[in-house]
Structure 1
Amino acid sequence: MACHHVVVPVSMVFTSDTHVPKRARDLPHALWAEIEAADVVVHAGDWVDVALLDEYERRSRRLEAVYGNNDHGPLRERLPEVARFEVAGLRFAVVHETGDAKGREARCAARFPDVDVLVFGHSHIPWDTTAASGLRLLNPGSPTDRRRQPHGTYVTAVADDGRLRDVTFHAVPPRR
């Protein structure tokens, strides 16, 4: 009998720059629902408060996360600067800052030659591009601090047999 390798699609949520409680008292309900439903949750730093990390850990099946430039003390003790992991045949890295947008693809491809998807934050600007090397760069933006963007954002996607598909940027309505 032939042995068939079955790859099960993995639902993922990507978020960054939550800045709770500095920019918002809590995350949007829709994002919490996605976090609770996802197989893997990725946070690219700037939590600000360790209580939010605790809540993510409580509500996530699997959390992959890093600290950001606004994270200090217990957040830096508990989280790495760079996280690397594999899901459904895809090699991921997560880092908070990647520097200036100009030259980002080439710079990141050189820094992460063994990675398929690099998740980053810091700018609060949604970003989804692919470097010449094939490295996909994904910034989910911020669900709580839109800066100069029309609205806050986070991302859902599916990792499936070496591909990241159904990548969707979700708009977070402004708080009233």
Structure 2
Amino acid sequence: MLTVVSDTHATDAHRLRGRTLEAVREADRVIHAGDFYREPVLDAFLAENESLFGVVGNNDDTPIRERLPHERVVAYEGAAVAVRHRSRSGATGLAMFGRERDADLVVFGHSHRPEFDDSAGVPLLNPGSHAQPRGNRPAHAELEPSADGNGLDGRLVTPDGDVFERFTVDAGGN
């Protein structure tokens, strides 16, 4: 399983709980789309799962900026996942970022709003924020290989374990 989180905004702990904590611990890989906030939070995530692939968010401190890239591509089960915290040009800029990297999926954060949007040419996934939802539903995303082996089946999930959206990502389609 690939677990995706973002926007923790904490000073000393990962603030994971319930299903979100389980999903991070169980994951083959974890993507964090930025805004850990302070370095001890990054270290707390790594203590839960060493296969963490994070990027820098606009609120991350200097030690995090020295340890993580601003963007990256993560391979998972035949899919290329392009990750960055945000794009100033919205969905169009995120889709372009994904196309430039031959990505099957773009993961981003910043808005704290969990959403999946496949209308931009490259599917866009914001897992929301498990720790600071800012008026949105607290959430993370979980993705697993589809039964036919041609992509990923995903879901947006609350820390209480409620699945509130399901989606599919085709792999190798770009």
Taking structure 2 as the reference length, what is the TM-score of the superposition? 0.81
Q: Does structure 1 residue 122 correspond to structure 2 residue 110?
A: yes
Aligned residue for 1:16? 6
Aligned residue for 2:139? 153
Q: Deviations over 1:72-105 (max 9, x none)?
A: 211000000001121111011110012365xx1x
Once the 2 structures are TM-superposed, how far is the Cα of residue 131 of structure 1 from its aligned partner? 3.6
Number of equivalences = 156
- Aligned counterparts of 2:89 and 2:95: Cα–Cα separation in 1: 14
- Aligned counterparts of 1:100 and 1:146: Cα–Cα separation in 2: 22
- Which residues of structure 2 form unaligned runs of 5+? 161-174
Task: Please give the residue correspondences for 1:27-176 in structure 2 after superposition, counting only pairs within 5 Å.
Answer: 27-99=16-88, 101=90, 104=91, 106-113=92-99, 114-133=102-121, 135-149=122-136, 151-160=137-146, 161-165=149-153, 167-172=154-159
Once the 2 structures are TM-superposed, how far is the Cα of residue 168 of structure 1 from its aligned partner? 1.6
Runs of 4+ off more than 3 Å: 159-162
Residues 1:109 and 1:53: Cα distance change in structure 2 (over 3 Å)? same
Q: Is the 8 A contact 2:95 2:106 kept in 1?
A: no
Q: Is the 8 A contact 1:118 1:137 kept in 2?
A: yes
- Aligned counterparts of 1:107 and 1:100: Cα–Cα separation in 2: 5
Once the 2 structures are TM-superposed, how far is the Cα of residue 111 of structure 1 from its aligned partner? 2.5
Letter in 2 for 1:13: T
Letter in 2 for 1:170: V
- Aligned counterparts of 1:98 and 1:129: Cα–Cα separation in 2: 15
Once the 2 structures are TM-superposed, how far is the Cα of residue 58 of structure 1 from its aligned partner? 2.1
Taking structure 1 as the reference length, what is the TM-score of the superposition? 0.80
- Which residues of structure 1 form unaligned runs of 5+? 1-10
Q: Deviations over 1:24-80 (max 9, x none)?
A: 882224322211111110100000121121122222141111010000211000000
Radius of gyration: which is bigger? 1
Residues 1:153 and 1:132: Cα distance change in structure 2 (over 3 Å)? closer
Comparing 60-69 with 36-45, which one deviates more in the overlay? 60-69
